[in-house]
């Protein structure tokens, strides 16, 4: 009879699609493993989208809840990560459209205390933190599709085609959104030395 | 001819060689645009998300685990038929809305010569237009309370639509178990009013 440890070991060895199957079959721990594997990237996506950790945490939970509800609809046509990003972008877009102005613009320096900056001096660290907060706030203030495109392209290294799939648009539209996102970002940061 | 947006993006991301675009050598405007894009790109790329404490990930996965467990809900007589929490919420909303519909119907004066209860619920008599539906009607507040927790997806899952007779169709299509539960909900709501 397999022990709990054996079962977990087996789960960890499963391929992505087999893990989804295990989850749909009601195997204990299967969805927990999906969460464990993807929570960091989903959280980062949400955090970059809304600009503050508290909302990002709530949104991440919402993303996984929706994923759990819709797991049966996952066909394996894309990777699980891409599928989760698609849900994440939709959740973030819905949240952003329901909130104006963005809470992200209120990010404090205290929110950045966990960045590993041990090799930097205190003034360098402070300047970098302030600069990072300004860029994050500028990104969080971009129009929604531009923001989604920029985040997925730069931070999640998705191809233009993958982004087009996530956003339900064309590669041309993705490149146009990316162009305008970068142009607007540049304008918003114009007062700073880039 | 100036470079297109796509060409500029490809150059900024270095997926295309500048040597393939001789126009760039002679056009200050395109060079400036490209420099602006590259500058914004590198500014954005060097920004990291504040890394939460190591404990954060444990707490987040536990939160999600609990939320998913709550979503699955405790075993009920509907569980083996695949009923989930959103559908259950939908049934509650449907029940409450049906209660309101029936309550409104019962309080509307019937047409002369029209036997009470003969009409379909959806076939509201003309007098209903004059029926004073107040914004602070408690029955409407009840529906508002129940639906306030529904997002678009959850609403879709309720199977509700806005066409005439939707409530009748929903009630007709209920199974025996669902009908019993709806009856219980209706009794509960009517007892309150």
Q: Which residues from chain A sit within 8 angstroms of residue B6, using beta carbons?
A: 172, 175-176
Whole-prediction pTM: 0.59
Q: What is the pLDDT of residue B186?
A: 80
Q: CB-CB: which of B47, B61, B67 is closest to A65?
A: B67
Q: Which residues from chain A sit within 8 angstroms of residue B67, using beta carbons?
A: 61, 64-65
Q: CB-CB: which of B44, B65, B86 is closest to A150?
A: B44
| Cβ–Cβ below 8 Å for A185 and B40 | yes
In order, the DSSP letters of A69-101 are: HTGGG--SSS-HHHHHHHHHHHHHHHHHHH-SS
Q: What is the pLDDT of residue B107?
A: 60
Q: What is the pLDDT of residue B191?
A: 76
Summarised one tens digit per residue, pLDDT across range B108-164 is 555 444 444 444 444 444 444 444 444 555 555 555 555 555 554 454 445 454 455
Radius of gyration of chain A (CA): 19
Mutation pick from B47, B51, B158 vs chain A, by most beta carbons of A within 10 Å, is B47
The pLDDT of B69-94, averaged and rounded, is 50
Helix axes B5-12, B28-45, angle to 10 degrees: 50
Q: Is the pLDDT of residue A40 over 70?
A: yes
CA A56 to chain centroid: 9
> Residue A45: closest CA among chain B residues belongs to which residue?
B49
B111's CB contacts (< 8 A; 6+ apart) are: B125, B126, B127
Summarised one tens digit per residue, pLDDT across range A171-190 is 999 999 999 999 999 998 88
Of B39, B31, B47, nearest to A154 (Cα)? Answer: B47
Measured CA to CA, the distance from residue A11 to residue B93 in angstroms comes to 39
Q: What is the pLDDT of residue A164?
A: 94
Mutation pick from A47, A125, A151, A178 vs chain B, by most beta carbons of B within 10 Å, is A178
Q: What is the pLDDT of residue A189?
A: 87
Mutation pick from B34, B64, B80, B82 vs chain A, by most beta carbons of A within 10 Å, is B64
| Cβ–Cβ below 8 Å for A194 and B39 | yes
Q: With contact defined as beta carbons under 8 Å apart, do B182 and B174 qualify? A: yes
Give the domains, in start order, of chain A with CATH numbers: 141-194 (1.10.10.10)
Q: What is the pLDDT of residue A127?
A: 82
A130's CB contacts (< 8 A; 6+ apart) are: A109
Measured CA to CA, the distance from residue B32 to residue B2 in angstroms comes to 12
Summarised one tens digit per residue, pLDDT across range A126-154 is 887 888 888 988 998 899 999 999 999 99
């Amino acid at each position: 009879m397999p022990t709990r440890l054996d079962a977990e070991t087996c789960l960890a060895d499963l391929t992505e699609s087999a893990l989804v199957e295990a989850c749909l079959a009601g195997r204990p721990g299967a969805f927990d493993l999906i969460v464990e594997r993807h929570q960091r990237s989903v959280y980062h996506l949400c955090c970059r989208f809304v600009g503050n950790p508290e909302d990002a945490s709530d949104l991440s939970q919402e993303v996984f809840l929706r994923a759990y509800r819709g797991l049966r609809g996952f066909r394996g046509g894309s990777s699980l990560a891409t599928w989760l990003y698609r849900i994440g972008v939709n959740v973030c877009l819905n949240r952003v459209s329901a909130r104006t102005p963005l809470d992200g613009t209120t990010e404090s320096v205290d929110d950045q205390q966990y960045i590993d900056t041990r090799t930097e001096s205190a003034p360098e660290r402070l300047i970098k933190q302030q600069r990072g907060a300004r860029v994050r706030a500028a990104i969080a203030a971009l129009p929604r599709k531009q923001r989604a495109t920029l985040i997925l392209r730069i931070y999640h290294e998705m191809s233009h085609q993958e982004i087009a799939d996530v956003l339900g648009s064309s590669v041309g539209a993705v490149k146009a959104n990316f162009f305008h996102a970068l142009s607007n970002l540049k304008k918003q940061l114009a007062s700073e030395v880039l | 001819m100036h470079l297109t947006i796509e060409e500029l993006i490809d150059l900024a991301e270095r997926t295309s060689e500048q040597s393939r675009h001789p126009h760039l050598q002679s056009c200050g405007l395109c060079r400036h645009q490209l420099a602006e894009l590259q500058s914004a790109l590198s500014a954005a790329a060097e920004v990291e998300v504040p890394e939460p404490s190591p404990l954060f990930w444990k707490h987040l996965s536990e939160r999600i685990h609990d939320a998913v467990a709550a979503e699955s809900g405790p075993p009920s007589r509907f569980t083996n038929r695949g009923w989930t929490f959103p559908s259950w919420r939908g049934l509650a909303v449907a029940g409450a809305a049906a209660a309101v519909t029936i309550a409104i119907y019962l309080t509307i004066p019937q047409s002369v010569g029209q036997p009470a209860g003969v009409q379909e619920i959806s076939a509201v008599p003309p007098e209903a237009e004059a029926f004073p539906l107040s914004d602070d009607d408690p029955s409407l507040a009840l529906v508002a309370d129940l639906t306030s927790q529904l997002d678009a997806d959850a609403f879709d899952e309720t199977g509700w639509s806005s066409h005439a007779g939707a409530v009748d169709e929903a009630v007709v299509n209920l199974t025996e178990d669902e009908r019993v539960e709806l009856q219980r909900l209706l009794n509960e709501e009517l007892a309150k009013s």
